[in-house]
Structure 1
Amino acid sequence: MPIVPAAAPEERSAITAIDHLVVLVGDLPAAVATYQTLLARAPAWHATGDGSENVLFTLDNMSLELMAPAGSGGTADRIRAVINLQGEGLASLCFRVSDIGRMHRRLGRLAMQPDPVASVEGRDTRTGATLSWKRTRAATSVTRGVRLFFLELDAERPRSDISGTAPVTGLDHIVVSTSDPERAAALYGSRLGLDMALDRAQQELRRLMFFRCGDVNIEVVHRPVAGSDAEHDKLWGVSWRVEDLDAARARLIDAGLTVTEPRAGRRPGTRVVTVRSGTCRIPTLLVQPEAK
């Protein structure tokens, strides 16, 4: 495994949180309706341009971006190609950073081949509101195929209004599946500078690692599967927080979704259910955190 040099103090990670997840979909109105049901939240942002149409749900600690191809051109064709090849699902992970220049220097110093920092302005097509941000992206050749973006937002996004009972409050963790846990640990720990909160073997997994990112965990799992890709990791699933698991489960069942019985979560004091439909094919848990 290549040696990753320690970061100088002034170049340590500027990552503060997960900013948003991107989900590629073929039918945007259907996906919006799906996630409004799942989250019990209304869309907070609508945008179009550069070959895509986008809708964002913004929760307490991050945003979920649904992206569909729009029109013709390179970007639209690439989105369609990915959906045709892999199906709908998680496409990229974007970190919030406090200083995009410092993050860009770190990525460059650690051979992550970042794109030049771009200044972007977005406009909500429903309200006309605008937002500005700066972003960069690491080369997927060194992130084991996972698309990782880094973003410094000039102002906070508008929050999604609650549209049902027992709404999702935020992201609890995102799951990354890997066939090479040592390289994944070097990426999320040494290169990105996230704190490792857990590293252990599990009965059903060969290895399980948690990396803290703000108040969210990135859960890296090594679950040997015949025919798995040895060179590429995969954004695999998500876990959403709810304050009342039983009420959220009843709401989803009433909406026609298939949801398992509640069970104890991996973290002591938590309860979880698996949502088996209505997620755009993304493995999904709801988690009720331990009462404080």
Structure 2
Amino acid sequence: MIAALDHLVIGGSAADYETLLGRRSVDGHLRTGNVGLRFEADASGLRSLVFATQDLEKAATLLERRAVSTTRTDEGLALLGHGVAIGLCAQSEEAPSPLTVETAAAISSLDHVVVRTPNPERAIAFYAGRLGLDLRLDRSNPKWGARLLFFRCGDLVVEIAHDLKKGVSDEPDHLWGLSWRVPDIAAVHARLKAAGLDVTEPRDGRRPGSQVCTVKNGTGGVPTILIGGVGRWQGGG
């Protein structure tokens, strides 16, 4: 049913993300190698996930059979996943936005989008059972204080994170943060610092051979990290 994550809706304007991504917006939209960005004025943070499907009518029928309530929109279908706004649209072949910097200093693609949940079993039932996403990893790590669920979606991951210390509840899930892949973390770090962004120094990441840094502003209120030293996501931690 779901072929890919088509785009994210983020509060704010495209201007901040033109700087962050090193790309020029087209008609107010931006797109990296694997995901697009749309913007909602007078808001902040991640607003919604919009998945692509090859057949909207079949998707609507399947969701109805799986007891998922949907609403028709100009774009396709809209639904609510325990507090998270989710859309489905027809799959397209939109090209990445033009680069405004050298390739090494630009953000290439999305690695994962993070949803925080107080109820991981509920999240599994919804994202795997209702939406049909491929659960590739279910790992609890006391050192991180979290249980992490990785759902494969194209060449990126929808990561569901649960704070172990808070226990399980029926409170709503919420969209939280983004992790972007970069071809050269030193080059991207230097470019963003020169543009006036507050970016931490690169440090070793959890994946072997990776480095990460945190972007603390200029993201429309979205917690954001950059990951270098990794390629297309293959299902590891």
TM-score, normalised to structure 1, is 0.73
Give the equivalent residue in structure 1 for 2:89.
151
- Structure 2 unaligned blocks of 5 or more: 233-237
1:35 and 2:17 are equivalent in the alignment: yes
Residue in 1 that maps onto 2:113:
174
Quote the residue 1:113 is aligned against: 69
Runs of 4+ displaced beyond 6 Å? none
Q: How many residues align?
A: 229
SS at match of 1:168: coil
Pick aligned residue for 2:127 from 177, 180, 188:
188
**Conserved 8 A contact 1:208-1:221:** yes
Alpha-carbon displacement from aligned partner over 1:60-94 (angstroms, at most 9, x marks no partner): 111011122xxxxxxxxxxx5xx4xxxx1110000
Any residues of structure 2 matched to 1:1-292 within 5 Å, and which? Answer: 14-25=1-12, 31-44=13-26, 46=27, 55-68=28-41, 83=43, 88-116=44-72, 118=73, 120=74, 135-138=76-79, 140=80, 143-153=81-91, 155-165=92-102, 166-202=105-141, 203-223=143-163, 230-290=170-230
CA separation of 1:194/1:268 partners in 2, compared to 1, >3 Å: closer, same or farther?
farther
Identity %: 41
The structure-2 alpha-carbon separation of the partners of 1:157 and 1:201, relative to structure 1 and needing over 3 Å to count, comes to same
Return the alpha-carbon distance in structure 1 between the equivalents of residues 90 and 14 of structure 2: 26
Task: Give the partner amino acid of 1:186.
Answer: A
The answer to whether the 8 A contact 2:181-2:230 is kept is: no
Distance 1:267 1:220 in 2: 18
Separation (CA, whole Å) in 1 of partners of 2:66 and 2:178: 28
Shift of 1:158: 4.2
* 3-state SS, counterpart of residue 71 of structure 2: coil
CA offset digits 1:80-138 (Å, max 9, x no partner): 5xx4xxxx11100000111111111111011111124x5x4xxxxxxxxxxxxx51112
Aligned mates of 2:60, 2:115 — CA distance in 1? 23
Given residue 150 of structure 2, which amino acid in structure 1 is its aligned partner? F
Q: What is the CA RMSD across the aligned residues, in angstroms? A: 2.1
What is the deviation of 1:291?
5.9
Q: Which shows bigger deviation, 214-223 or 255-264?
A: 255-264
Q: Is the 8 A contact 1:179 1:223 kept in 2?
A: yes
User: TM (normalized to structure 2)?
Assistant: 0.89
CA distance in structure 2 between the aligned counterparts of 1:187 and 1:111, rounded to whole angstroms: 10
User: Secondary structure at the residue paired with 1:148?
Assistant: strand
Gaps of 5+ in 1: 1-13, 26-30, 47-54, 69-79, 121-133
Q: Deviations over 1:179-222 (max 9, x none)?
A: 11110111111111111111111222231111000001011100
The answer to whether the 8 A contact 2:210-2:229 is kept is yes
Kept in 2: contact 1:205–1:221 (CA 8 A): no
Q: 2:235 maps to what in 1? A: none
